[in-house]
């Protein structure tokens, strides 16, 4: 499963106003609401519920929050590059600044796990993470993540 199938350009943001994990999850829910046609409160609740099972901060400044929502028909991602890292209760105790959230239909089964594995593999690439951290343009971030060769008009 390619990231270009999961991540739309409008789902990529550079965020400067979050100061806590809770506020980060709310911001993810707010952006996802516009992409998923599901209320931000329902998305936020699903993200919180998943986090209560164990933090999704995977280390090296990366978090992969995810949730299943019954109203969805396809897996969709939202990516944030945070200008100021926040504590995310990660395994390595490092704050996160790269956040890729996945939202999947409740009955996706193995496809959700495949998508999560694909995102995880992508964000384990130290060189890619360095490029993501060095860019503030959402379209550039989208292109880096999806490997897109889309030409960007100036």
Structural contact between residues 97 and 61, judged by C-beta atoms closer than 8 angstroms: yes
Tokens of 118: 């694909």
66 classed as catalytic = yes
Stretch (H or E) spanning 15: strand 7-15
Tokens of 1: 């499963």
Structural contact between residues 120 and 58, judged by C-beta atoms closer than 8 angstroms: yes
Closest CA to 25 of 90, 78, 104: 78
Catalytic residues: 66
């Amino acid at each position: 499963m390619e990231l270009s199938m999961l991540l739309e350009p409008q789902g990529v943001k550079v965020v400067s106003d979050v100061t806590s994990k809770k506020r980060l999850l709310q911001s993810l829910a707010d952006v996802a609401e516009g992409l998923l046609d599901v209320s931000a409160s329902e998305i936020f609740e699903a993200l919180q519920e998943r986090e209560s099972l164990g933090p999704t901060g995977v280390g090296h400044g990366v978090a992969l929050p995810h949730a299943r929502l019954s109203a969805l028909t396809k897996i969709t991602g939202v990516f944030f590059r945070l200008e100021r890292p926040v504590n995310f209760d990660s395994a390595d105790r490092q704050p996160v600044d790269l956040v890729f959230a996945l939202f999947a239909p409740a009955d996706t089964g193995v496809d959700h796990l495949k998508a999560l594995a694909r995102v995880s593999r992508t964000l384990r690439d130290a060189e890619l993470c360095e490029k993501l951290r060095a860019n503030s343009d959402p379209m550039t971030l989208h292109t880096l993540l999806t490997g897109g060769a889309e030409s960007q008009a100036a």
